Amino acid sequence: MAKADARSGQRQTFRRSVHRNLTEGGGFIFLMLLPALLVVGAVIGVPMLRALEMSFNSIDFRRPAMAGTYGFHNYVRLFEDPDSWSAVILSAIYMFGTVVGSVALALSAALLTRRIVRFRAFWRVTFLLPWTVPAVVAALVWGVMYDGNFGIINRLLDHVPFVTGANWLINRETAFPALIVAQVWNEFPVAFIFILAGLHAIPEELYEAARIDRARAFQQFWHITLPQLRFILAVVVVLLMIMGFKSFPIIYILTGGGPAGATETLTVLTYNTAFRGLDFSYAATLGILAVIVSIILVLGYLRLVARLQDERGGQ
């Protein structure tokens, strides 16, 4: 009798400890993490590893007999290929251009709408609207507007003296900036939301104190607004860097990488190598290169931010 009691007591403590583990301890952590990590691991992690494997293989549909030949040949080709280097540089310029453009536009829009009282919701929605347009559609609209013969941009420029329109997407010099403008228009609302939220979080007393000290608007911006926005700007820039580096639909639809490779960023080159060149192994290698380059750029940027904060005494 006493034995049975002890056993059921043991079972109870066991059950209780399992319950405790699942609602409090390591089991809880595991169960809460599992679904998210499982999906990300399966859908992105596994293909990433698969791409890594492919990058050492030779899966090229124009030379099917080569499949199964493993080696470093794709990486050797990567270093010798001038296209891959120019693609890395173009990706970096594109990323830089879209980050600077988006932050500048979002910051001006947020500063101008911050103290607005009337039509506040209207202005907010106005600056959020480009985000409702998917990149694919944004590319199509800008394509119509950029058109050399019929595009509205050239038609409007006809009315401006001393300025002539251009074949925006066909000229080597104008194609790349034109793409950056379209991309900035499409993605700056993301930065706008974050910066506006950050502005509203700055305590009003700081500005009142500055006004008593008769600080000019620019001085207020430089000594209060910017330092207070530091953290949020750092987050926004990382987000925009990743978005800009990965950007595909706008470039692909508007120029497809042309004219003559002038806009062939790493993502577009990867796509063209895979789906036009049918060399899937080399495309995978380019994808690995893209990951490495973007990790270097993002980590480098984060280091820079950390160092700047240290210099300013941190906070």
Partner 1 sequence: MSWSPGWVRGHWTALFRTVALCLLGMAVLFPIYWMLVIAITPTGFSRSLPSIFPQTVTWQNFTSLFADRPMARWLVNSIVVATLASFLSLVFGTSCGYVLSKLKFRGAGLIMIGVLVTQMMPGTSIIVPLYILFRDVGLLDTMSGMVVGHISLVIPIAIWMSKGFFDRVPPDLEASARIDGCTRLGAYFHVSLPLALPGLAAIFIYGFVTSWHDFLFAHSLVHSQQLWTAANGITSFRGQYFTLHELQMAAALVFALPVIIVFVVMQRWIVSGAMTGSVR
**Window 118-177: residues binding partner 1 (CB under 8 A):** 121, 123-138, 140-142, 144-145, 147, 150, 152, 155-156
Between CA 127 and CA 77 the distance in angstroms is 45
- Does 33 bind partner 1 (CB under 8 A)? Our answer is yes
Chain CA centroid to CA 22, Å: 37
Binding segment for partner 1 among 44-52, 71-79, 96-104, 169-177 (CB under 8 A)? 44-52
Shortest distance (Å) from residue 23 CB to partner 1: 4
Shortest distance (Å) from residue 177 CB to partner 1: 16
Between CA 50 and CA 52 the distance in angstroms is 5
For 108-124, give the DSSP string: HHHHHHHT--TTHHHHH
Closest-CA residue to 48 (of 287, 297, 275): 287
Shortest distance (Å) from residue 95 CB to partner 1: 12
Between CA 234 and CA 309 the distance in angstroms is 11
Residue 234 has what DSSP assignment? H
Residues 6+ apart with CB under 8 A from 211: 220
Whose Cβ is closer to partner 1: residue 175's or residue 250's?
250
Which residues from 213-242 bind partner 1, rule CB under 8 A?
217, 231-232, 235, 242
Which residues from 56-85 bind partner 1, rule CB under 8 A?
none
- Does 112 bind partner 1 (CB under 8 A)? Our answer is yes
- Total residues in contact with partner 1, by rule CB under 8 A: 90
- Does 104 bind partner 1 (CB under 8 A)? Our answer is no
Question: In this chain, which of 6, 44, 66, 306 binds partner 1, going by CB under 8 A?
Answer: 44
Shortest distance (Å) from residue 315 CB to partner 1: 9
- Does 282 bind partner 1 (CB under 8 A)? Our answer is no
Shortest distance (Å) from residue 243 CB to partner 1: 9
- Does 246 bind partner 1 (CB under 8 A)? Our answer is yes
- Does 295 bind partner 1 (CB under 8 A)? Our answer is yes
Whose Cβ is closer to partner 1: residue 166's or residue 199's?
199
Question: In this chain, which of 46, 67, 226, 304 binds partner 1, going by CB under 8 A?
Answer: 46
- Does 18 bind partner 1 (CB under 8 A)? Our answer is no
Residues 6+ apart with CB under 8 A from 254: 139, 142, 143, 146, 169, 178, 179, 182
- Give the per-residue SS3 of 35-52: HHHHHHHHHHHHHHHHHH
Closest-CA residue to 193 (of 102, 283, 260, 280): 102
Q: How far apart are the first and last CA of the chain?
A: 66
Shortest distance (Å) from residue 2 CB to partner 1: 32
Please state the φ and ψ torsions of residue 217, each to the nearest 5 degrees: -55, -40
Question: In this chain, which of 18, 43, 66, 157 binds partner 1, going by CB under 8 A?
Answer: 43
Q: Which amino acid, residue 189?
A: P
3-state helix, strand, coil in the chain (%, to 5): 75, 0, 20
Binding segment for partner 1 among 60-68, 78-86, 169-177, 196-204 (CB under 8 A)? 196-204
Shortest distance (Å) from residue 11 CB to partner 1: 21
- Does 270 bind partner 1 (CB under 8 A)? Our answer is yes
